[in-house]
Amino acid sequence: MNISEKGSKKCNRFRGVRPETEAKYRQAIELYRSTDLSVAEISRICGLTNNGLRGYISVSYTHLTLP
């Protein structure tokens, strides 16, 4: 018995950080970890938005923002 994709109950959601998102922010996270540059300066250098980088850090790298 073949089950078509349409009738399948398999969940297609992706949990965690997508590889393409991780690749997009990799350089910025490395700069954030290793320098004293502000998020605004890092986002300008990497061509990202301030809000996007801040959001990514707050969700995926909370441990970097804790004292």
pLDDT in tens, the chain (67 residues): 455 556 667 777 777 888 899 999 999 999 999 999 999 999 999 999 999 999 999 988 888 877 7
Handedness of CA 5, 6, 11, 13 (dihedral sign): positive
> What pLDDT is stored for residue 63 in this prediction?
84
Q: Please list the helix, strand and coil fractions of the chain in percent, rounded to the nearest 5, in that order.
A: 60, 0, 40
